[in-house]
């Protein structure tokens, strides 16, 4: 809900505009491509905020004026009736304008627009956990397909009855990481396993980790050849006949951090090397982001999308067709549809809650909302 503290923050941003426009015309800024691009991005963001704040303020003002007219005992009856008829439509404009302003106020995260690397690992529960990991993979695959995103397999370890002990894949699409980052954490399933003969409900789990794809230039990630150990081995698992007859699988170990990435989905050793390097860079970026957050004494576990695998974020109860996200107490009774990729309502709710937390922090940093 937009309150005076939020509007005070908007006024503070408005005060920044003249100085920013002067900076953008300065030869020192214009001559530096990196600084100029940063200034343009900030200007674009501030203009979007101020435009939406103006739209919201006008919508609120129109509603207040019409309500005052409707409640004015001295006003002409015909005018009051006309004002009352228009009031409903004017009130309907306020919430969308408020939501648009709230969205624009969110602190920008440059990694949100990037592609994502997703890793699913079977947890407690043996073969049933591996089957659940495979179900999660199919859920994300359907979700990506619905959005027209591209999914690329990077690595997989298949269980004896067709589940996944581990599966790693890339997701390419607009705002892929920003959308999927809320999936990081522990996922618990309650259902009668295929391996259960007596119909008893079992509980098992899988963990999901979502990383933004690294940008070498923006993230300044430099991996020296001497800092990486590359192991080549025979592929195993899905991939068709002959997948394990050639040494095409690649495992990379980043010696300074101990981080490991591998790919065996391709028959070509070079393509597996390229995929493994993408994952390794994403892991290094995530390692850096986590370390920086800890140095700044941020409470990662209190933030949605923190990526903490030890946190149980969601329960999938198949007998009751129920899904519950424990971070926001969000429950729906259409688990069957969710497993077919209908994740958007849940992700929207998570996004709104996370945005509120972040914006409250920004507003709070102003000191009781004053500019």
Please state the φ and ψ torsions of residue 251, each to the nearest 5 degrees: -120, 130
Within 8 A by CB and 6+ apart from 80, the residues are 69, 70, 72
Mean of the pLDDT values across residues 332-353?
Answer: 93
DSSP H helical segments within the chain, as ranges?
4-24, 27-30, 33-70, 77-105, 126-147, 176-180, 216-219, 269-295, 335-338, 344-364
pLDDT in tens, 238-288: 544 444 456 788 999 999 999 999 988 777 888 898 999 999 999 998 888
Instruction: State the average pLDDT for the chain.
Output: 85
pLDDT for the residue numbered 197: 64
Q: Given a cut of 80, is residue 311 above it in pLDDT?
A: no
Q: What CA–CA distance (Å, rounded) separates 127 from 351? A: 33
Q: Given a cut of 80, is residue 304 above it in pLDDT?
A: no
Q: Given a cut of 80, is residue 341 above it in pLDDT?
A: yes
Task: State how far the alpha carbon of 40 is from the alpha carbons of 11, 47, 48, in Å.
Answer: 20, 10, 12
Q: What are the boundaries of each domain within the chain?
A: 4-105, 117-344
Q: Given a cut of 90, is residue 60 above it in pLDDT?
A: yes
pTM of the model: 0.71
pLDDT for the residue numbered 363: 67
The angle at the Cα of 118, spanning 113 to 124, to the nearest 5 degrees, equals 145
CATH number 3.30.499.10 given to 117-344: no
Six-digit token string for 68: 């005052």
């Amino acid at each position: 809900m937009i309150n005076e503290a939020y509007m005070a923050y908007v006024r503070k941003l408005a005060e920044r505009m003249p100085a920013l426009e002067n900076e953008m015309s300065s030869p020192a800024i214009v001559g530096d491509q990196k600084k100029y691009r940063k200034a343009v991005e900030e200007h674009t963001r501030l203009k979007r905020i101020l435009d939406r704040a103006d739209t919201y303020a006008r919508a609120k003002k129109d509603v207040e004026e019409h309500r005052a007219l409707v409640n004015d005992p001295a006003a002409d009856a015909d005018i009051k009736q006309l004002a009352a008829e228009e009031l409903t439509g004017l009130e309907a404009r306020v919430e969308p304008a408020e939501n648009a302003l709230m969205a624009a106020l969110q602190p920008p995260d440059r990694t949100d627009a990037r592609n994502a690397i997703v890793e699913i690992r079977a947890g407690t529960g043996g073969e049933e956990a591996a089957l659940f990991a495979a179900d999660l993979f199919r859920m994300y695959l359907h979700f990506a397909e619905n959005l027209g995103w591209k999914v690329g397999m990077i690595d997989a370890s298949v269980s004896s009855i067709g589940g996944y002990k581990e599966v790693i894949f890339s997701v390419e699409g607009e705002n892929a990481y920003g959308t999927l980052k809320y999936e990081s954490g522990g996922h618990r399933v309650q259902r009668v396993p295929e391996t259960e003969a007596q119909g008893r409900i079992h509980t098992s789990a899988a963990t999901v980790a979502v990383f933004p794809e690294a940008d070498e230039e923006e993230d300044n990630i430099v991996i020296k050849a001497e800092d990486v150990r590359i192991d080549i081995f025979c592929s195993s698992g899905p991939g068709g006949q002959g997948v394990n007859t050639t040494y095409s699988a690649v495992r990379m170990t980043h010696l300074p951090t101990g981080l490991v990435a591998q790919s065996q989905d391709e028959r070509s050793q070079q393509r597996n090397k390229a995929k493994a390097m993408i994952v390794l860079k994403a892991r290094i970026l995530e390692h850096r982001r986590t370390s920086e957050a800890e140095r700044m004494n941020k409470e990662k576990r209190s933030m949605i999308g923190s990526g903490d695998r030890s946190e149980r974020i969601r329960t999938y109860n198949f007998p009751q067709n129920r899904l519950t996200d424990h971070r926001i107490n969000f429950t729906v009774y259409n688990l069957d549809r969710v497993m077919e990729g209908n994740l958007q309502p849940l992700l929207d709710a998570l996004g709104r809650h996370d945005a509120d937390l972040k914006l409250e922090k920004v507003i709070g940093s102003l000191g009781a909302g004053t500019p």
